[in-house]
Each structure stands twice: as C-alpha cells, then as structure tokens.
C-alpha cells in the first residue's frame, strides 16, 4: 500500500511516496530512497519504484522522494540543484520520518543510486541503522569534470554559464552546481572512516558513467560491517532489476533478523 505526502524542505514542498505494510511491527526497517542526478523518485527505467515495491512486498517500509527541482517537487532543476541542497533535503526527509508516530521507533536505512548514493553515504546521523549505495558517486569532482559534464562543459559552468546536453540528455544545469562542488568537493574519504553502520554497495562492472573503482576503494576503507557486490550491469542496472531487488531485500532481511536476535537476548 502506498500514499503520497508533501514534505517541507527549505521552504519548498518535496513530493514523496510512502510504501507501508499493513502489519508493521517493531524493528521493521524503513528505507529512505534517494534518486540520482537528472532522475526522480520513480527512477531511470523505474529503478526506484521497483526497489520500493520490492521492499514493501518483503514486509518492510520505504519512502522515495523527489529532491527539490526534480520530479514533482517544488524548485527549478537548473537553478536549485546542488549537492548542498540535496543533503539538506535528505536531512529534512529524515527529520519528517522521525517525527511521524507510526515511524519514530523504526530503524532507518538510507538507499541511494548514483549521486543519490553520495547523498546517502555522506548523511551525518549516528542513528541511521544502515546504508545501501547503488553505483554511488564517491569522487564527485573528478566524476562530473571528466565524465558526466566533461572538461569543456565543466569549465563553461565554472565560468558562470548554464550548460546543457550532457551525457546525451536534454537537461541543463546552472553554475551553482559546479561552484558548490568545486568549493566543497564532497569527497567521501572521511565518511569511510567515520561511519560504522552496516553497508551494502552494489555496482555494475560495465558502468561507464560512474567507474566501479570508486566503490571498491570506499569499500576497502570503510570501517564498519560491509558487503560489496559487483554485478555484470551498466550504471542503471538495465535488465538486472530482479537480481538487484532480491539482493537489496535479502540484505535488509539479514539486518532485520540480526536486530531481532539482539532484542531477544537482552
């Protein structure tokens, strides 16, 4: 069962779909899903929708939402999209979930794809029970400068221009995105050392947009419980959704069972 909610973030309304199971019990994981750059809460090839539906079918809960300027949320993609803004949106979505009486006692997991993976991995909250990163951007400056935008569009954007038609897409992006990225960098090295909650990384070995080497490096440096799966897939897991959803829901079930075992022994 799913229903729509509006979540306020930075004086904007974020569009969110809430997937709930009729028989939610204590310690049932709730997964907040973060879409990727130029995507939205349904996801490329319905990736986020398929994941949330599978999570719901497994008896768990999911919240998938549009970042400001994406999908049905308020804002303008060209002017408002920055990593800083996306991080603030996720913080407000997490706070909204925690404020709901039906959800406030449930363990929260963050799931993100591509740039959404970076947002999920960089979120600072010791109360997060675990994280799932699907083809995550881990070195965003290098990734956007060399691949996603490319050197020419990166430089034009850095010089104050709005740029368009990157990665064969019809999107445009304003200079705020590159300026924020160049100033703050958002490299995930610190998070690899500071986060200790369980982590699942899944990356396609044929990913030409976000190289899987970044996931492998982050995995090696991560100090907490961790699992890395390299699938024979592209950046958006084309033709691999069934395998991917089984992997994600299986991992979440293991986490739920571990928490249940700990509760019974105390």
Q: What is the CATH number of the domain that holds 243?
A: 3.40.50.1820
Is residue 133 domain-shared with residue 39, that is, in the same domain? yes
Mean of pLDDT over the chain: 95
Is residue 70 domain-shared with residue 170, that is, in the same domain? no
Average pLDDT over residues 155-161: 98
Element (H, E) at 200: strand 199-204
Q: Is residue 265 scored above 60 in pLDDT? A: no
What tens digit of pLDDT does each residue of 17-55 get?
999 987 666 679 999 999 999 999 999 999 999 999 999
What's the pLDDT at 217?
96
What's the pLDDT at 260?
55
What's the pLDDT at 27?
79
Average pLDDT over residues 223-230: 97
* Domain that includes residue 17, residue range: 2-139+187-264
Q: What's the rounded Cα separation, in Å, for the pair 174 and 160?
A: 8
Can you spell out the DSSP letters for 101-166?
TTTTTSPEEEEEETHHHHHHHH---TTEEEEEEES--SSHHHHIIIIIS-HHHHHHHHTT--EE-G
Is residue 35 domain-shared with residue 91, that is, in the same domain? yes
What's the pLDDT at 173?
98
Is residue 33 domain-shared with residue 103, that is, in the same domain? yes
What's the pLDDT at 125?
94
What's the pLDDT at 24?
60
Tokens 């691999």 appear where? 240
């Amino acid at each position: 069962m799913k229903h729509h909610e509006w979540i306020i973030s930075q004086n904007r309304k974020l569009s969110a779909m809430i997937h709930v199971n009729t028989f939610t019990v204590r310690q049932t994981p709730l997964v907040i899903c973060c879409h990727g750059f130029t995507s939205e809460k349904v996801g490329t090839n319905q990736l986020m929708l398929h994941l949330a539906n599978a999570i719901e079918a497994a008896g768990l809960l999911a919240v998938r939402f549009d970042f400001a300027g994406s999908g049905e949320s308020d804002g303008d993609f060209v002017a408002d999209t920055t990593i800083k803004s996306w991080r603030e949106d996720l913080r407000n979505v997490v706070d909204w979930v925690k404020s709901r009486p039906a959800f406030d006692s449930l363990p929260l997991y963050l799931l993100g794809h591509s740039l959404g993976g970076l947002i999920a991995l960089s979120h600072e909250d010791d109360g997060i029970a675990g994280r799932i990163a699907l083809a995550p951007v881990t070195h965003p400056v290098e990734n956007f400068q060399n691949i996603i935008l490319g050197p020419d569009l990166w430089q034009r954007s850095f010089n104050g221009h709005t740029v368009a038609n990157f990665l064969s897409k019809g999107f445009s992006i304003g200079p705020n995105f590159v300026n924020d990225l160049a100033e703050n960098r958002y490299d995930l090295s610190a998070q690899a050392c500071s986060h200790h909650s369980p982590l699942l990384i899944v990356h396609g070995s044929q990913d030409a947009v976000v190289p899987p080497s970044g996931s492998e490096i982050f995995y090696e440096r991560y100090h907490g419980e961790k699992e890395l799966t390299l699938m024979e897939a592209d950046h958006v897991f084309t033709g691999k959704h069934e395998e991917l959803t089984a992997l994600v829901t299986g991992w979440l079930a293991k986490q739920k069972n571990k928490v249940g075992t700990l509760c019974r022994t105390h």
